[in-house]
């Protein structure tokens, strides 16, 4: 496989959350082509599961979709030097007023390899306890929380009611882990 060589690279737009980079590439055959890439920080998602086998879902307004979305707690890795698991624990506290005593990486996935650099780490968090309420702002101020049995959450994925990618991946992986342990 030929890996194209970057001949030129420039930032077309630099925003708070995303930048757009325009690259001119060649495969070494004399022809060139242009690719635009959304450069974004990585993210985390957290499947927070209690001792009763329920997971914590949140519902919040997502402007790009123009509607509220059911999802697992999540956030951007936007604190310099913070490790993914630290971001996951921080975001869980900030979005849900919940703390976890253990956290396990379920997977790392590429959000959309054809146009963005963003990757998402998905964790399973257990040993949950409530912590003092965090002051939330903007669309996070209206977050709704719901504890849902894992099997019901998986059914919501299958019906299309839950359609957020990190949430779909986290729920289905956690559900699959549960079925594997039941079959042993």
**pLDDT digit string, tens, across residues 59-91:** 999 999 999 999 999 999 999 999 999 999 999
CA end-to-end distance (rounded Å), the chain: 42
Catalytic residue list contains 82:
no
How many other C-beta atoms are found inside a 10 Å radius of the C-beta of residue 65?
A: 10
Q: What is the mean pLDDT of the chain?
A: 94
Asked if residue 139 has pLDDT above 80, the reply is: no
User: pTM surpassing 0.85?
Assistant: yes
Could you give the percent of the chain with pLDDT greater than 90? 89
Q: Which of 140, 146, 152, 182 is catalytic?
A: 140
At 66, is the secondary structure helix, strand, or coil?
coil
* pLDDT value for 183: 61
């Amino acid at each position: 496989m030929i890996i194209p060589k970057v001949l030129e690279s420039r930032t077309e737009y630099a925003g708070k959350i995303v930048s757009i980079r325009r690259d001119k590439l060649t495969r070494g055959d004399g022809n060139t082509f242009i690719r635009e890439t959304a450069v974004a920080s990585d993210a985390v998602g957290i499947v927070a599961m209690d001792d009763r086998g329920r997971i914590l879902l949140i519902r919040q307004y997502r402007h790009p979709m123009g509607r509220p979305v059911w999802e697992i707690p999540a956030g951007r890795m936007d604190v310099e030097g913070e490790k993914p698991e630290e971001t996951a624990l921080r975001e869980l506290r900030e979005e849900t007023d919940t703390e976890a005593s253990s956290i396990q990486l379920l997977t790392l996935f590429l959000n959309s390899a054809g146009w963005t650099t963003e990757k998402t780490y998905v964790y399973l968090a257990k040993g949950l306890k409530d912590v003092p309420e965090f002051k939330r702002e903007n669309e996070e101020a209206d977050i709704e929380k719901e504890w849902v049995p894992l099997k019901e959450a998986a059914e919501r994925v299958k019906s299309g009611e839950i359609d957020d990618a990190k949430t779909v991946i986290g729920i289905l992986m956690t559900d699959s882990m549960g079925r594997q342990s039941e079959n042993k």
